[in-house]
Structure 1
Amino acid sequence: MSAMQDYQSSLSDVSSRKFETFSYLPEMDAASIRKQVEYIVSKGWNPAIEHTEPENAFGHYWYMWKLPMFGETDVDLILAEAEACHKAHPANHVRLVGFDNYKQSKGAEMVVYRGKPV
């Protein structure tokens, strides 16, 4: 059995905070993010883009970027919206959410751009 790793994080060090499962992994490259979007689309989930300041990633609601993309299946369009959100808010974290209509909950959620604290 391998030893568990302790992630050094603290409230005072914004850049060390973890927000969801994927944040404990190395940053995803463009191909990995694309595969996640393809998975969301293949499951029939509705993609949505959200963003927030790094210091508010834990205790606040994330801002919705436009409306959820109900029924959208074009992976390139979804990725373009995430990039547009990042360009509009470069200091913010940007996450992609896949809403599951049947379970009425999030089926997937991941940060695709990490903002830099100011």
Structure 2
Amino acid sequence: MSEMQDYKSSLSDVNSRKFETFSYLPEMDADRIRKQVEYIVSKGWNPAVEHTEPENATSNFWYMWKLPMFGETDVDVILAEAEACHKAHPNNHVKLIGFDNFAQSKGAEMVVYRGKPV
């Protein structure tokens, strides 16, 4: 069995925290984020945007940015909402979610903008 890498992450170091699977990969560029949004749309999931302060990112409760975008299929509109949230809250983490209304759960969730600790 190969050696497993330990990802240094702690509550005291907000920059080290991991949030979901994508956090362990290199940061996604705009093209990769677009592909994830296209996937969410292709699955028929409802996109939503949430945000929170870096120090509260481990909480289950993030602030909702507007309402979920029920039935939205325009990738540019979805990306524009994530960017608008980031511009309104530049120090907050912003995540994009794809709600699967059939399974009644999140089908996708990823941080698309990392805020800076104050």
The TM-score range, normalised by the shorter chain, is over 0.9
- Provide the residue aligned with 1:13 in structure 2: 13
SS in structure 2 at match of 1:35? helix
Answer yes or no: is 1:73 the counterpart of 2:73.
yes
How far apart, CA to CA, are the structure 1 residues paired with 2:34 and 2:2? 31
Unmatched segments (≥5 aa) in structure 2: none
Deviation at 1:3, TM superposition (A): 2.5
Unmatched segments (≥5 aa) in structure 1: none
- Provide the residue aligned with 2:85 in structure 1: 85
How far apart, CA to CA, are the structure 2 residues paired with 1:60 and 1:91? 19
Runs (4 or more) in structure 1 with deviation over 6 Å come to: none
Answer yes or no: is 1:51 the counterpart of 2:42.
no
Q: TM-score, normalised by structure 1?
A: 0.97
- Provide the residue aligned with 2:98 in structure 1: 98
Q: TM-score, normalised by structure 2?
A: 0.97
SS in structure 2 at match of 1:44? coil
**CA-based RMSD:** 0.9
Sequence identity percentage: 86
How far apart, CA to CA, are the structure 1 residues paired with 2:114 and 2:32? 15
How far apart, CA to CA, are the structure 2 residues paired with 1:2 and 1:89? 42
How far apart, CA to CA, are the structure 2 residues paired with 1:29 and 1:87? 17
